[in-house]
């Protein structure tokens, strides 16, 4: 079939298998171009199909020749209806990993559930024995709690008062003011339940209980801080409460891992266009200005550049360079004073009329479509493509 992008608000309903594969190939080539990383050899990635998790899986596999198990929640195609990008990404990843002689298996299902944890535990027992790195990169709006069956929804709201600021509709370039009502009822607690550290700890408990973590094993979860302008809706909002909880959980997990000399870290990453971040008001305007400034300074990075640097310079580079809260800061270039000062100036000026010059709206929009395998250089979108791609290890 011929597959074209079909968008509805912040989501794209279709995705392109050839474009997704090209994205994966580009990431693999980038990692290979940077040379070998003396890193972990047996790696479990939770949230492995898109964004930072996919980049982590690719960096482990092609930077350190690691065997990887990837867990994610994605839709395969049905006749005439493309699968989700994470599905195509993983099919492509496995294909190229296997071609390179690397072990790669995937489990598609709800990582919050006991069933999926059990499946992963059994797979590690059968195939790898133990793992030495666990990447926790889930981003989900909902979580069904495994103990109670209760469904929790996370929300992106400020805490305490209404937040009013600028935002952009990146499809039209329209800059407008948006007001977001503060959290009410159980909003904060629910968001912490979905995006906080409880599930990360449950995973590590399940792995440790079965002796599936090797001596000195490391686990890393991803967080975000960001600038002043997004603080009320991000870091000081409901999602920030969840990130505080996640960051606190790192210390608890490190305590739990004492007997094997293991460590749990949070890495604070850069703001990037992913499916998750496109849905947060105000953030797309910030990202379009951020990209403009960072590209001009020659320090722009995407997911793969971020994670390759995280691995080669921090995790396996001998210097974690932890901040005063014990976090790895791979958002260091985003948070540079000169970068933030320029964005603050541009922020005041940005309007519908001038944003295409002040900001990198085109870059934002392109990266959004790239997430779904569209507008990827070198892909012939007029060519007939078979949508019924499957993940090799799932066959
Ligand atoms: P993403 O949406 O690209 O990836 C999320 C992954 O989680 C996908 O593989 C998806 O399949 C998987 N997933 C979601 N729900 C699942 C479930 N129930 N069971 C199994 N898998 C599930 O997200 P991302 O932007 O890469 O975010 C990953 C982490 O990085 C998050 O903690 C996020 O807060 C953090 N982070 C993101 C940004 C950013 O700008 N996007 C910046 C810094 C940190
Ligand atoms: Na991810």
For 339-356, write each residue's pLDDT tens digit: 999 999 999 999 999 999
Query: Does residue 335 surpass a pLDDT of 80?
Result: yes
Domain architecture of the chain: domains with CATH: 7-370 (3.40.50.720)
Q: Which of 15, 45, 46, 53 to mutate to test the pocket of ligand 1 (most atoms within 8 A of CB)?
A: 53
Report which DSSP code applies to 74: -
Active site residues: 234
Residues with CB under 6 A from ligand 1: 47-53, 71-74, 86, 110-112, 137-140, 222-224, 269, 271-272, 274-277
Has the ipTM of the complex gone over 0.90?
yes
DSSP 181: P
Give the residue ranges of DSSP H helices in 65-103: 85-99
What is the arithmetic mean of pLDDT over 240-264?
98
Average pLDDT of span 13-30: 98
The model carries a pTM of 0.98
For the CA of 72, the nearest atom of ligand 1: 21
CA–CA distance, 17 with 13 (Å, rounded to integer): 13
- Can you tell me the mean pLDDT for 371-377? 97
CA 153 from chain centre, in angstroms, equals: 19
State the Cα–Cα distance between residues 14 and 214, nearest whole angstrom. 40
Question: pLDDT band for position 281 (50/70/90)?
Answer: confident
pLDDT at 184 over 90: yes
In sequence order, what are the residues at sequence separation of 6 or more whose Cβ sits closer than 8 angstroms to the Cβ of residue 74? Answer: 49, 83, 84, 85, 86, 87, 90, 108
**Segment among 114-123, 136-145, 148-157, 277-286 with least mean pLDDT:** 277-286
Give me the chain's average pLDDT, please. Answer: 97
Q: What percent of the chain has pLDDT over 90?
A: 96
Give the model confidence (pLDDT) of 126-177 as tens digits.
999 999 999 999 999 999 999 999 999 999 999 999 999 999 998 899 999 9
Q: Which ligand number lies closest to the CA of residue 46?
A: 1
Share of the chain above pLDDT 70, in %: 100
Cα separation, 152 vs 357, in Å, equals: 41
Residues 6+ apart with CB under 8 A from 117: 111, 146, 202, 203, 206
């Amino acid at each position: 079939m011929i597959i074209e992008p079909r968008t509805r608000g912040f989501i794209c309903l279709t995705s392109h298998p050839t474009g997704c594969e090209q994205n994966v190939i580009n990431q693999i080539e980038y990692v290979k171009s940077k040379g070998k990383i003396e890193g972990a050899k047996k790696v479990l990635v939770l949230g492995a199909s898109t964004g930072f998790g996919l980049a982590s899986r690719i960096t482990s596999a092609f930077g350190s020749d690691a065997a990887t198990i990837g867990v994610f929640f994605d839709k395969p195609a049905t006749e005439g209806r493309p699968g989700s990008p994470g599905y195509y990404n993983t099919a492509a990843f496995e294909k190229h990993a296997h071609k390179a002689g690397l072990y790669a298996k995937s489990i598609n299902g709800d990582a919050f559930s006991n069933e999926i944890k059990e499946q992963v535990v059994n797979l590690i027992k059968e195939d790898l024995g133990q793992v030495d790195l666990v990447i926790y990169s889930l981003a989900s709006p909902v979580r069904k709690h495994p103990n109670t069956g209760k469904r929790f929804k996370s929300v992106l709201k400020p805490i305490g008062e209404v937040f009013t600021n600028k935002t952009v509709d990146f499809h039209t370039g329209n800059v407008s003011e948006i007001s977001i009502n503060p959290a009410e009822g159980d909003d904060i607690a629910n968001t912490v339940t979905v995006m906080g550290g409880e599930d990360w700890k449950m995973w590590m408990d399940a792995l440790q209980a079965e002796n599936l973590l090797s001596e000195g094993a490391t686990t890393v979860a991803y967080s975000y801080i960001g600038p002043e302008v997004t603080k009320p809706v991000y870091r000081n909002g409901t999602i920030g409460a969840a990130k505080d909880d996640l960051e606190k959980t790192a210390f608890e997990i490190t305590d739990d891992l004492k007997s094997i000399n293991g460590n749990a870290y949070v890495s604070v990453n850069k703001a990037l266009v992913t499916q998750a971040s496109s849905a947060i008001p105000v953030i797309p305007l910030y990202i379009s200005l951020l990209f403009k400034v960072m590209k001009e300074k020659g320090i722009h990075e995407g997911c793969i550049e971020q994670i390759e640097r995280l691995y080669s310079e921090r995790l396996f580079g001998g210097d974690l360079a932890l901040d005063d809260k014990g976090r790895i800061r791979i958002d260091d270039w985003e948070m540079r004073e000169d970068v933030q000062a320029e964005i603050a100036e541009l922020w005041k000026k940005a309007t519908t009329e001038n944003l295409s010059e002040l900001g990198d709206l085109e870059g934002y929009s392109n990266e959004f479509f790239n997430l779904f395998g569209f507008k990827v250089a070198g892909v012939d979108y007029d060519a007939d493509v078979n949508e019924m791609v499957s993940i090799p290890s799932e066959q």
